[in-house]
């Protein structure tokens, strides 16, 4: 028994994407509402149909209570949020499917809203600093073992994993560059993308190093915006405005001793250099009865380019350690590669809404309406952020 | 092996500023920090099954025993991985780059790793696997943190 093919994504919607802080004076909750209304309109549904919220990382721009009273949701029958942060992006839609499969709700909205006008995720582990400084870390006994060394942001932390990947496997900065450059190629064909100029290898190597080996273009964008996804029963999905996109499998979690991952750095050696996704990937394939060979397009959470490479390994597209050479051989390019990756441009070049744009792109690929449409796409893989547990993933099919 | 991009006049590694360093120990971690003030590096080991755990915490992750003994370490370590912070993420560290947050594995602990800065080294000289030795950094009157330099 599983949730395989019991629910379908029937609507996706988004606000405009903004560079960090430029969505002001809209409020986060206002953007969340706009994204939900857009997704419901896409589906041919209304607020009166919504009875559930399946979330991750506080993506409503407020609590369910405030959102429901503001939007006038008639009755909330399910409201839950995956623990953790961006790792739960893809898994929030799996949570929606679980709610639907269990009978607790019928039409469930997953949402991510982001506004970085005040605090920046890029310095989310920074100490408080001088009085009045607006950084987001609250002190904890565990952070005492990381922050005195000046680890202040996720980029610096993932750089530590990338550095060891290079050491163990001979991965090169050129390989990270290929992730950034290929995704930029995809982004510049889309009106919604914040980045509209091609990226060259010279641009990449001339960019400032932020946390060696990562330079500016290995980092995702810093954005504002909201993206919503509507999931309902497969039966109901048959009669709506869009062709149903089935939730064929979803999994979240990870090894317990992956734990806090990049903020503690004591993960077991056997999977220290990984995305943390390996057990999640295995459960995803088991639930679906599929493998990576069945996937037509992969939307892999790309906060930092090396983590795309590690996910390609962890989902089995190439052997462990071969991810760098796999991308260098052109395998992730749209149009020519064996597995097109982040056809929307991803967090690196379209917009960073903590991974929800990846779900939207997967749905559009399976409807056949994507800008960079993969011909006859039938199976799309979506992943949540490599991060502390849970990580998550989602397999959508036409 | 990576080819670091480093300036021609490559500086020695610096350190994050002391004013950013504040500790908030709890009942489990305070022994580590108290020992650090005395320039002793200690790691808790389960009194039941002998598993080292780090950071110090309430339970052994293998046998769930709570009791620990604190085992003093030699101060030797091996560089497991690192990054070089070239770009100041905050204005507060603009005078402190480049600094090197490193992950240092302690021998004979079952793989316990500390996150600590590397000192007395230029970024381009750093190699994963290099032998390191402990150098205590007295940050404030009541705060001392470990750093490491090439052995």
Residue of B2, B83, B90 with shortest CB distance to A160: B83
Contact (CB, 8 A) for A306 and A218 = yes
B-chain residues near A324 (CB < 8 A): none
Helix (H, G, I), strand (E, B) or coil at B135: strand
Taking only the tens place, the pLDDT of each residue in B7-53 is 668 999 999 999 989 899 999 999 999 999 999 999 999 999 999 99
The predicted structure's pLDDT at residue B6? 60
Tell me the shortest Cα–Cα distance from B28 to chain A, in angstroms.
Answer: 9
Contact A209 B54 (CB under 8 A): no
Taking only the tens place, the pLDDT of each residue in A177-220 is 999 999 999 999 999 999 999 999 999 999 999 999 999 999 99
- Catalytic residue chosen out of the listed positions A18, A125, A204, A301: A301
Residue with tokens 């995803």: A284
Beta pairing class for A209-212 and A214-215: antiparallel
Q: What is the DSSP string of A298-317?
A: EE---SBHHHHHHHHHHTTS
Beta pairing class for B143-150 and B113-118: parallel
Nearest to A92 by CA among A397, A351, A378, A391: A391
Nearest to A116 by CA among A244, A21, A35, A243: A21
Residue of B54, B82, B87 with shortest CB distance to A210: B87
Taking only the tens place, the pLDDT of each residue in B21-31 is 989 999 999 99
Q: How many contiguous H segments (helices) and E segments (strands) does chain B have?
A: 1, 8
DSSP state of A206: H
B-chain residues near A265 (CB < 8 A): 80, 103, 113, 115
**Best interface-test mutation with B: which of A148, A162, A324 has the largest number of B CBs within 10 A?**
A148
Residue with tokens 């060979």: A293
Contact (CB, 8 A) for A81 and A106 = no
Tell me the shortest Cα–Cα distance from A29 to chain B, in angstroms.
Answer: 28
Contact (CB, 8 A) for B115 and B94 = no
The predicted structure's pLDDT at residue B9? 80
Residue with tokens 């870390």: A137
Q: Residue A291 corresponds to which tokens in the numbers above?
A: 């493998």
Tell me the shortest Cα–Cα distance from A210 to chain B, in angstroms.
Answer: 5
Residues of chain A with confidence (pLDDT) below 50: 132
The predicted structure's pLDDT at residue B7? 63
Contact A156 B85 (CB under 8 A): yes
Contact (CB, 8 A) for A229 and A11 = yes
Nearest to A374 by CA among A328, A329, A327, A339: A339
Contact B117 A264 (CB under 8 A): no
Contact B81 A135 (CB under 8 A): no
**Where do the domains of chain A lie?**
7-117+220-397
> Is the CB of B85 inside 8 Å of chain A's CB atoms?
yes
Helix locations, A225-337, DSSP H: 234-237, 269-272, 278-288, 305-314, 323-328
For all residues of chain A together, what is the average pLDDT? 95
Specify the CATH class of A7-117+220-397 in words.
alpha beta
Tell me the shortest Cα–Cα distance from A173 to chain B, in angstroms.
Answer: 8
A301 labelled catalytic: yes
Closest residue in B to A161 (Cα–Cα): B81
> Which segments of chain A are extended strands (E)?
7-14, 18-19, 52-56, 78-82, 107-114, 209-212, 214-215, 223-233, 245-253, 297-299, 379-383, 391-397
Beta pairing class for A78-82 and A52-56: parallel
Residue of A130, A149, A212 with shortest CB distance to B86: A212
Residue with tokens 């943390």: A276
Contact B87 A269 (CB under 8 A): no
Q: How far is CA A89 from CA A10, A69, A161, B59, in A?
A: 17, 25, 21, 31
**Where do the domains of chain B lie?**
22-150
Q: Residue A169 corresponds to which tokens in the numbers above?
A: 């496997």
**Distance separating alpha carbons of residues A99 and B9, to the nearest angstrom:** 59
Confidence class for position B2, pLDDT limits 50, 70, 90: very low
**ipTM of the prediction:** 0.96
Residue with tokens 């507060």: B92
A-chain residues near B36 (CB < 8 A): none
Categorise residue A186: left if φ over 0, alpha if ψ from -120 to 50, beta otherwise.
Answer: alpha
Q: How far is CA A66 from the centre of its chain?
A: 25
**Distance separating alpha carbons of residues B86 and B14, to the nearest angstrom:** 10
Q: How far is CA A182 from the centre of its chain?
A: 18
Q: Residue A146 corresponds to which tokens in the numbers above?
A: 């990381």
Residue of B1, B92, B117 with shortest CB distance to A149: B117
**Distance separating alpha carbons of residues B64 and B62, to the nearest angstrom:** 6
Q: At what angle do helices A28-43 and A64-71 cross, to 10 degrees?
A: 60
**Distance separating alpha carbons of residues A368 and A47, to the nearest angstrom:** 26
> Is the CB of B116 inside 8 Å of chain A's CB atoms?
yes
Contact (CB, 8 A) for A366 and A63 = no
Contact A209 B128 (CB under 8 A): no
What residues contact residue B58 under an 8 Å CB cut-off, 6+ apart? Answer: B28, B66
Contact B117 A257 (CB under 8 A): no
Q: For every residue of A158-169, which 3-state class applies, written as one string?
A: HHHHHHHHHHHH
Contact (CB, 8 A) for A219 and A210 = yes
Q: Please count the other Cβ atoms lying within 10 Å of the Cβ belonging to residue A371.
A: 18
Taking only the tens place, the pLDDT of each residue in A70-89 is 999 999 999 999 999 999 99
Counting residues of chain B whose pLDDT is more than 90, the rounded percentage is 89
Q: Is the pLDDT assigned to residue B103 strictly greater than 90?
A: yes
Interface of B with A in 44-63 (CB under 8 A): 54-55, 61
């Amino acid at each position: 028994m599983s949730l395989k093919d019991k629910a379908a994504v029937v609507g996706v919607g988004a606000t405009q994407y903004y560079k960090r802080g430029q969505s002001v004076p809209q409020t986060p909750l206002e953007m969340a509402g706009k994204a939900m209304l857009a997704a419901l309109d896409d589906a041919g549904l209304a607020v009166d149909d919504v009875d559930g919220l399946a979330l991750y990382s506080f993506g409503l721009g407020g609590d369910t209570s405030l959102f429901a009273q503001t939007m006038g949701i008639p009755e909330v029958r399910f409201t839950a949020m995956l623990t953790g942060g961006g790792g739960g992006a893809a898994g929030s839609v799996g949570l929606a499917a679980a709610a639907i499969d269990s009978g607790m709700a019928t039409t469930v909205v997953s949402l991510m809203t982001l506004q970085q006008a005040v605090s920046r995720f890029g310095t989310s582990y920074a100490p408080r600093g001088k009085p009045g400084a607006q950084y987001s870390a609250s002190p904890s006994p565990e952070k005492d073992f990381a922050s005195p060394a000046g680890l202040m942001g996720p980029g610096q932390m993932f750089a530590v994993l990338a550095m060891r990947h290079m050491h163990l496997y001979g991965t090169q900065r050129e390989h990270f560059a290929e992730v950034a450059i290929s995704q930029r190629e995809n982004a510049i064909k889309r009106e919604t993308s914040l980045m509209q100029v091609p990226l060259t290898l010279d641009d990449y190597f001339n960019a400032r190093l932020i946390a060696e080996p990562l330079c500016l273009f290995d980092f995702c964008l810093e954005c504002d915006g909201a993206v919503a996804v509507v999931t309902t029963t497969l039966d109901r999905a048959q009669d709506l405005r869009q062709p149903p996109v089935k939730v064929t499998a979803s999994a979240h979690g990870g090894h317990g001793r992956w734990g806090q991952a990049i903020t503690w750095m004591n993960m077991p050696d056997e999977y220290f250099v990984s995305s943390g996704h390996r057990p999640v990937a295995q459960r995803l394939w088991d639930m679906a009865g599929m493998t990576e060979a069945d996937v037509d397009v992969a939307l892999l959470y790309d906060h930092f380019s090396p983590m795309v490479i590690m996910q390609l390994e962890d989902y089995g597209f190439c052997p462990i350690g071969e991810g760098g050479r796999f991308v260098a051989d052109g395998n992730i390019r749209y149009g020519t590669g064996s597995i097109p990756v982040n056809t929307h441009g991803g967090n690196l070049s379209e917009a960073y809404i903590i991974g929800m744009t990846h779900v939207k792109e997967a749905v559009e690929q399976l409807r056949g309406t994507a800008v960079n449409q993969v011909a006859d796409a039938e199976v799309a893989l979506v992943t949540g952020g490599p991060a502390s547990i849970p990580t998550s993933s989602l397999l959508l099919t036409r | 092996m990576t080819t670091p991009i480093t300036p021609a006049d490559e500086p020695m590694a610096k350190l994050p500023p002391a004013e950013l360093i504040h500790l908030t120990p709890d009942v489990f971690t305070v022994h580590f920090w108290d020992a650090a003030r005395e320039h002793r590096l200690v790691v808790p080991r389960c009194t039941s099954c002998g598993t080292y755990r780090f950071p110090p915490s309430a339970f052994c992750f293998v046998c769930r025993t709570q009791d620990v003994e604190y085992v003093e370490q030699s101060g030797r370590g091996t560089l497991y991985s690192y990054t070089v912070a070239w770009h100041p993420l905050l204005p507060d560290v603009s005078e402190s780059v480049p600094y090197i947050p490193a992950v240092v594995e302690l021998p004979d602990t079952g793989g316990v790793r500390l996150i600590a800065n590397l000192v007395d080294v230029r970024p381009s000289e750093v190699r994963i696997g290099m032998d390191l030795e402990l150098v205590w950094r007295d940050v404030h009157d009541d705060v001392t943190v470990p750093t490491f330099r090439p052995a």
